[in-house]
Amino acid sequence: MTFEELEQIAAETRENREKSPRELNVCVAAGCLSLHSDAVKKSLEEEVKRTGATCRVRGTGCMGLCSLGPLVASEPSGQFYKSVAAADAAEIVENLEGAPVPRLLCSREQPFFQRQNLIVLENSGRIDPEKIEEYIAVDGYRALVHALTEMNPNEIVQEVSKSGLRGRGGAGYPTGLKWGTVAKTAGTTKYVICNADEGDPGAFMDRSVLESDPHRVLEGMAIAAYAVGATHGYIYVRAEYPLAVKRFGTAIREARRLGFLGSQICNTKFNFDMEVRIGGGAFVCGEETALIASIEGRRGSPRPRPPYPAQAGLWDMPTLINNVETFANIPSIVRRGGDWYASIGTKKSKGTKVFALTGKVRNVGLIEVPMGTTLRQIIYEIGGGVPEGHKFKAVQTGGPSGGCIPEQFLDLSVDYESLRELGSIMGSGGMIVMDDSACMVNVARYFMEFCMSESCGKCIPCRSGTAQMFELLTRMTLGTATARDLELLEELCDMVSSTSLCGLGQSAPNPVLSTLRYFRDEYIEHINEKRCRAGVCECGSAVGVTA
Amino acid sequence: MNPAPSVKTLMIDGKDVSARADQSILDAARENAIPIPTLCHLDGLSEAGACRLCLVELKGTLRLQPACVTLVEEGMEVTTQSPRLEKYRRMVVELLFSERNHVCSVCVSNNMCELQDMAKQLGVTHVRFPYRYPRLPVDTTHERFTMDHNRCILCTRCVRVCTEIEGAHTWGVFGRGVDAHLITDLDIPWGTSDTCTSCGKCVQVCPTGALFEKSKVGMQSQKNPDFLNYLNEMREIER
């Protein structure tokens, strides 16, 4: 594959589209699909056929505003329809030209769309994820061809370093540094792994990227493989994401067909191929050493680091392991340069971050904003604020490893360092907004239950410590806890985070610690007054019951 | 023959010591009569890094490191005893006691139990956490041995000895979190296992009364894992 051939495919695809410019794009990613967007697509197709209208009906990826799905975009008129039902098909097709259907209209001029800055999601909802030609038509695979034919591996590592990109899985390790380490480590065989075992409650960024623009991740992985000297790649996707597995499988087949995977890619000596590995439903397999063990066919439990996977990873070989979103940033960085990427964001956190905005906000969906955007902008401008009748209480970031941030910090900019200072973490990008109907003790208990049941059981602090913390939190929500239980809980938080083997245990106390930091009075009320101000816990009714 | 690894000098608890570059902090400390408590570690088996008792403080790093898997480095300054470490170690033992049903007075390994010894050594006089009292089975189907899940601390020494020394791969871990437990083969009664060679190595390495030989009581049930070093040495010579 050369630039000329790539350009030819792109030109042909664009030409075909221009022949019949009218198209109806229906979101067929998991969010809208769960609202039966497949039925919408089918009835639109039938309607087009019946009326003989010159219009193509395409299934595309996520358009972002998941709470108003199924979403349909009519091009080139730019009409954008929300909550479309199969029965609306006739009306939509009838009004392809001219006047839109006001009943279904949803403005794209609202802050939800205007405030975003799309890099990872630039093609999401705009191309058919199952057609490689459509990806090529929007400059897809240009970065790979450019990297292979015009750059040497070190130049790519330098470009990624310059971009300031940091691991989007949550910990924020500098991506360029990791790539450089794997590139420099001696080894006959090296591997590239994409971690798509997204498991935080409320998080669906990686799923949407894989469902909406799988080639982007594949291209990023191929560039990474060239940069570090790897010949084989794996993408580890959880089994609960069947659509992502299917679409990525299609992407691999299509990429092989056009020679972006296989041997002598782009007539160079670079060989690279990859396969999908499906996870068995354990959250801990998102931890890199457990993930590697799982790919090797062993029980998915973590091992102590060092050695880090960069030195001894999959089958003891140097292994580069990055998150879906990290890889998805790579094609843009290679195409537009590290300096361009570094111009977005804050001093220490560059680029954009995709968030899955959920909970008590008007606009639930997938968003991408520059690092440094404030929580208030995300929740109130993009998210549209908390629905009427309730008051904002806290926003949870980082899932079971993160924490709850109260109202007084809403003007803080979102980046790795400032979230950590507040006792939370960036995490993979789950953002759950809570209003005054949420009890913070109960929230902490919920996340502790999650950590307890997802602990692999290998090290004692995480296995037994999370179970004890869950028991103590349960007593509080039942109104049977004493002041001593709170002391024990705090002692356990310190011990479990300091002594656990892997990140799961080390961060498991975070939801408790952050709620204790900002909502300690709620804990005290549960213990001393047997009262839950949100009315969630039935601690009052349990007065007199002893533990 | 590989060239001899280089020698590093480091400081453990204020004492200057030397160690080969391929030695762990735990090895180096024990050679120099500096005790570090362990439960999952056993000389002759691979390391699990699971019990977290051997965590030590390293100068220059905030995070505690397990001495069993951390290799020595030149100029390292290791602290093996501190109020913080001692507190965490006691809590590990407390968490182990509260997790399953460790009732010493009716245990075959009473007075010959590494968990019991560890509690005494660390000064654990009582357990502050609520006992979980899970209902756990006892597998008596094997002709010679018994597995009592109530006493198991999931150190996985049996899993490792069965895999690494005997090569039978009979023992494995099943389930997650507090539900994690040992199984034989694909979770079948031990007595019906096709892979078990009845060698008894798992029993000898078990630190508690979880694995024991039937009809052995009192001092007769004393365990002896010394065969490990002997076997490893003999195999080294053969190689």
Among A311, A342, A373, where does a domain finish? A342
Q: Closest chain A residue to B130 measured between Cα atoms?
A: A468
Taking an 8 Å cut-off on Cβ atoms, the answer to whether A466 and B176 are in contact is no
- Structure-block tokens of residue B222: 């004393």
Task: Say whether both A390 and A498 belong to one domain.
Answer: no
List pLDDT tens digits, range A121-173: 999 999 999 999 999 999 999 999 999 999 999 999 999 999 999 999 988 99
B69, B92, B178: residue with CB nearest A304:
B69
**Secondary structure letter of residue B2 according to DSSP:** P
Mean predicted confidence (pLDDT) in A85-92? 92
How many CB atoms within 10 Å of residue B15?
12
Task: Say whether both A411 and A494 belong to one domain.
Answer: no
Mean predicted confidence (pLDDT) in B99-104? 95
The residue among A460, A443, A447, A525 whose CA lies nearest residue A486 is A525
ipTM of the complex: 0.95
Residue type, A322: N
Mean predicted confidence (pLDDT) in B21-26? 96
**Residue of B53, B70, B84, B95 best to disrupt the A interface, most CBs of A under 10 A:** B95
Give the percent of chain A with pLDDT over 70. 99
CA distances from B156 to A21, A218, A291, B134, B167 (A): 65, 39, 20, 20, 15
List pLDDT tens digits, range A21-76: 889 999 999 999 999 999 999 999 999 999 988 889 999 999 999 999 899 999 88
Q: Is position A5 within any domain?
A: no
The pLDDT, as a whole number, for residue A541 is 57
Long-range contacts of B221-226 (CB under 8 A, 24+ apart): B221/B108, B221/B109, B221/B112, B222/B112, B223/B109, B223/B112, B225/B42, B225/B44
For chain A positions 106-125, those within 8 Å of chain B (CB to CB) are: none
List pLDDT tens digits, range A429-439: 999 999 999 99
Does residue A461 have a cis peptide bond before it, meaning omega lies within 30 degrees of 0? no
**3-class DSSP state of A369:** strand
Chain B positions with Cβ closer than 8 Å to A: 47-52, 55, 63-64, 66, 69, 87-88, 91-92, 95-96, 98-99, 128-130, 132, 153-154, 172-173, 175-180
Q: Is position A538 within any domain?
A: no
A312 in contact with B, Cβ within 8 Å: no
- Identify the bridge partners of residue A506 per DSSP, sorted by sequence position: none
Q: Specify whether the backbone of B215 is left (phi greater than 0), alpha (psi in -120 to 50) or beta.
A: left
**3-class DSSP state of B203:** helix
Mean predicted confidence (pLDDT) in A243-268? 96
Tell me if A464 sits within 8 A of B98, measured CB to CB. yes
Distance of CA A383 to the CA centre of its chain: 17
Domain that holds residue A516: 440-529
A268 in contact with B, Cβ within 8 Å: no
Q: A450-476 burial string, b = 16+ CB within 10 Å, else e?
A: bbbebbbbbbbbbbbbbbbbbbbbbbb
Tell me if A276 sits within 8 A of A245, measured CB to CB. yes
Q: Closest chain B residue to A453 measured between Cα atoms?
A: B177
Task: Say whether both A314 and A196 belong to one domain.
Answer: yes
Q: Measured between CA atoms, how close is A492 to chain B, in angstroms?
A: 8
Residue B239 has pLDDT above 70, yes or no: no
Strands (E), A205-296: 232-238, 273-279
Please report, for the domain that includes residue A75, its CATH number.
3.40.30.10
Residue A418 has pLDDT above 90, yes or no: yes
Among A404, A435, A466, where does a domain finish? A435
Return all residues near A282 (Cβ < 8 A) that are at least 6 apart: A290, A294, A300, A454, A456, B176
Task: Say whether both A221 and A362 belong to one domain.
Answer: no
Task: Say whether both A426 and A467 belong to one domain.
Answer: no
Tell me if A515 sits within 8 A of A441, measured CB to CB. yes
- A317/A295 Cα distance (integer angstroms): 13
- Identify the bridge partners of residue A350 per DSSP, sorted by sequence position: A345
Distance of CA B26 to the CA centre of its chain: 13
Tell me if B208 sits within 8 A of B114, measured CB to CB. yes
Q: Is position A132 within any domain?
A: no
Q: Is position A453 within any domain?
A: yes
Considering chain A, what is the average pLDDT of its residues?
94
Task: Say whether both A190 and A334 belong to one domain.
Answer: yes
**Share of chain A residues as helix, strand and coil, in percent rounded to the nearest 5:** 50, 15, 35
The residue among A260, A284, A11, A312 whose CA lies nearest residue A146 is A260
Residue type, A70: P
Task: Say whether both A445 and A431 belong to one domain.
Answer: no
Provide the pLDDT confidence category of residue B2 given band limits of 50, 70 and 90.
low
Please report, for the domain that includes residue A524, its CATH number.
1.20.1440.230
For the four alpha carbons of A160, A284, A198 and A248, in that order, the dihedral sign comes to positive
Return all residues near B235 (Cβ < 8 A) that are at least 6 apart: none
- Structure-block tokens of residue B101: 């049903």
For the four alpha carbons of A142, A146, A147 and A148, in that order, the dihedral sign comes to positive
- A452/A446 Cα distance (integer angstroms): 10
Task: Say whether both A216 and A337 belong to one domain.
Answer: yes
**CB pairs below 8 Å between A and B: how many?**
93
Residue B3 has pLDDT above 90, yes or no: no
Give the percent of chain B with pLDDT over 70. 98
Q: How many CA atoms lie within 13 A of A403 on its CB side?
A: 22
Mean predicted confidence (pLDDT) in B41-56? 96
List pLDDT tens digits, range A347-367: 999 999 999 999 999 999 999
- Structure-block tokens of residue A155: 């130049």
Task: Say whether both A417 and A323 belong to one domain.
Answer: no
List pLDDT tens digits, range B149-206: 999 999 999 999 999 999 999 999 999 999 999 999 999 999 999 999 999 999 999 9
**3-class DSSP state of B218:** helix
Residue A545 has pLDDT above 80, yes or no: no
Task: Say whether both A262 and A311 belong to one domain.
Answer: yes
Please report, for the domain that includes residue A400, its CATH number.
3.10.20.600
Mean predicted confidence (pLDDT) in A259-269? 95
- Structure-block tokens of residue A17: 């589209």
- A96/A38 Cα distance (integer angstroms): 20
Residue whose token pair is 């964001």 = A345
Q: Is position A539 within any domain?
A: no
B63, B88, B130: residue with CB nearest A471:
B130
Taking an 8 Å cut-off on Cβ atoms, the answer to whether A459 and B176 are in contact is no
Residue whose token pair is 């220490």 = A348
**3-class DSSP state of A439:** coil
Residue A544 has pLDDT above 60, yes or no: no
Among A54, A83, A107, where does a domain finish? A107
Q: Three-state SS string across A75-91, please? A: ECCCEEECCCCHHHHHH
Q: Is position A546 within any domain?
A: no
Tell me if A338 sits within 8 A of A411, measured CB to CB. no
Q: Measured between CA atoms, how close is A506 to chain B, in angstroms?
A: 10
- Structure-block tokens of residue A385: 């604020």
Pairing of strands A392-397, A403-406: antiparallel
Please report, for the domain that includes residue A314, its CATH number.
3.40.50.11540
Q: Is position A127 within any domain?
A: no
How many domains are contained in chain A? 4
Q: Choose between B238 and B151: higher pLDDT.
A: B151
Residue A546 has pLDDT above 50, yes or no: no
Task: Say whether both A368 and A411 belong to one domain.
Answer: yes
A457, A495, A500: residue with CB nearest B176:
A457
Provide the pLDDT confidence category of residue A270 given band limits of 50, 70 and 90.
very high
B98 to chain A: which residues are within 8 Å by CB?
Answer: 464, 468
**3-class DSSP state of A28:** coil
Q: Is position A93 within any domain?
A: yes
Residue whose token pair is 């199969």 = A86
Return all residues near A19 (Cβ < 8 A) that are at least 6 apart: none
A453 to chain B: which residues are within 8 Å by CB?
Answer: 176-177
Does residue B3 have a cis peptide bond before it, meaning omega lies within 30 degrees of 0? no
Task: Say whether both A178 and A320 belong to one domain.
Answer: yes
